[in-house]
Structure 1
Amino acid sequence: MTRTARRMFELLEPICLVTFLSDECNDELAALGHRTYWDGYFASRAAPLGRVPAEVVHAAFYNFADGEVARHIPSAWETIPPEASVAARQRGSAASLRRILGDELAGSPGLVRAADLTTQAAMLAPTVGRMMFAGMRTLPVPTDPVARLWHSATMLREHRGDGHIAALLSAGIDGTEAHVLSAIDMGIHPPESFGRVHHLPEPRLAAVMAGLRSRGLVDAGGHFTDAGRETKQRIETVTDELAAPPYEALSAAELDELIAALEPITARLVATGSQ
């Protein structure tokens, strides 16, 4: 099932990326009154958890530097109810998918079937130990097929993300270190230039790199050592293993059907960079 989990990640991730890369979602959140992209991001993604403090959101999201969440939560909810941010996120994401896919794909029987099977997998997966996934599971499932596909794909993304955090914790890798390892894996050099961490204070980044070097994961040039490469691969393998349970709820025939239905949808999204 780990191979299936990896394949489903490849197929579903471009569906989820419209939320972060396309204009419609940001426009919907801005229209509510969110002042910046990150206000809307934190308010809408964290909203299923309820009006929790920044410390809880920081723990659930895991990979943001100290203080980043607190710049947006709870202030982003002071005048805009969390429920409104969730609804805007869904509207904008579904609108992006419809635009990118066009009438033919967005209205196809294959998309409807993909939405149904993705929802089935997400709704039958266990929530224990899955904070973000459990939060998403409390939201109503949309009746519109395009919105339902996005919603269920995003549920499964959060399910995988919760498992990824568990894998990082078990490997002793914190959120900032995880970004550095991902940057190295993607061939970004120096890894400190990666967009998710480059804005951090230089002393903080220097300390992160020094820590990774002292543990034998990164060499003096900012590249993987053998141990670092093995650690990164082990994290990905454990993540795939922990992401498998939703797909165990589907039969082999249903999985084949789901993959076949998603492939043309994902291909269109990948061709546009999900924008």
Structure 2
Amino acid sequence: MTTSALGPLAGRRCHHPLNSLHATHYFAPELGRELGALGITHPRAVNFAARAAALGPVGAGAVTAAFFNYKHDLVARHVPAVWSVADPADVLAARLRAVDATLRRLLGEEAVTSAEMAEAAGLALRAAEACGRGARPLYSAHADLPVPGEPHLAYWHAATLLREHRGDGHLAVLMSAGLDGLEATVTHTSTGRGMTPKWVRATRGWSEEEWNAAAGRLRERGLLDDEGELTERGVALREDVERETDRVDLAPYEHLGAEGVARLTGLASAFARAAAAAGAFPADLVGKR
């Protein structure tokens, strides 16, 4: 399968709904309940434990490096202390139970057990066969986990693999573009597609002063204007970042082929729309303000 046969944005368009469904559990009460039963109760500790557990009982430095846009001081408040509360293997099992309950609540039993779900799982797992491990710590750690037996959990697992594969590559591209974690987040928010500053500061540990300082650095580079909007140069940089991310994330979608990518995109979009309509995400999560 050639790159041109896929179309230049086919992989990106497929990634978006896959990522959306993966992310539902981070906002779901089921995750807090399952990890709370293990003794992990702080919302930030829940987030760090759930996503980092595949790495094993790592320290704060490894989590900060892999997550990229979280303030290290915030990570260090909870990691590695969280592993003295619950073993990573127990966290992974609790996470999967939370995902099971979340998807059943958001999508309904009919969708969870449907032929379309099984088909989506098969397609996403086939795409993930071509993911590469090199310089991709979060993808590689999750790739070591077993594929769940139930189709909706297998689909979520495959979506996680594809999401972390693209994400790891994206971080390398951001670094190459000269953006640190907070600067990358400020520019993404300025596109109107990222999390609002309120959500970033609440979940990533950055103060308003640190946010403003990052915006000032971006203004000095000519990437933001005085109103916090991307300049023409800033828009071009973000477009370059996304194109290069597409390039380094192309292998799984080439492997699946144009027809498979189109089918997976359609199935994934339907599931993601249904989850969003069921209230999967806070209403004020995305936007510039």
Name the TM tier (shorter chain): over 0.9
Per the alignment, residue 196 of structure 1 pairs with: 200
| Aligned residue number for residue 140 of structure 1 | 146
CA distance in 1, matches of 2:115, 2:74: 42
Structure 1 residues without counterparts, runs of 5 or longer: none
- Which residues of 2 match residues 59-98 of structure 1 at below 5 A? 59-98=65-104
- Tell me the equivalent position of 2:187: 181
Normalising by the residue count of structure 2, what TM-score does the alignment of the two structures yield?
A: 0.88
The Cα of 1:202 is off from its aligned counterpart by: 4.2
Q: What pairs up with 1:7-22 in 2 under 5 angstroms?
A: 7-22=13-28
Compared CA separation, residues 103 and 231, structure 1 to 2 (3 A):
same
Q: Distance in 2 between matches of 1:225 and 1:260?
A: 34
Contact 2:201 2:207 in 1 (8 A): no
What does 1:1-275 align with in structure 2 at a 5 Å threshold? 1=6, 2-186=8-192, 193-197=197-201, 200-274=206-280
1:67-94 deviations in whole A, cap 9, x for unaligned?
A: 1211111001112001111111111012
Deviation track 1:160-198 (CA, whole Å, cap 9, x = no partner) reads: 11011011011000111111112211189xx7x442036
**Kept after mapping to 1: 8 A contact 2:32/2:46:** yes
Tell me how many residue pairs correspond in the alignment: 273
Cα distance change on mapping 1:219 and 1:262 into 2, 3 Å? closer
Indicate if the aligned counterparts of 1:124 and 1:249 stay in contact, CA closer than 8 A: yes
Q: Matched residues in 2 for 1:264 and 1:207: separation? A: 40
Of 200-209 and 97-106, the range deviating more from structure 2: 200-209
| 2:46 partner letter | G
SS at match of 1:274: coil
Moved over 4 A (4+): none
Once the two structures are TM-superposed, the CA of residue 123 in structure 1 deviates from its matched residue by 3.0
Which 5+ residue runs of structure 2 have no aligned equivalent? Answer: 1-5, 282-289
Task: Give the Cα separation in 1 of the matches to 2:233 and 2:273.
Answer: 35
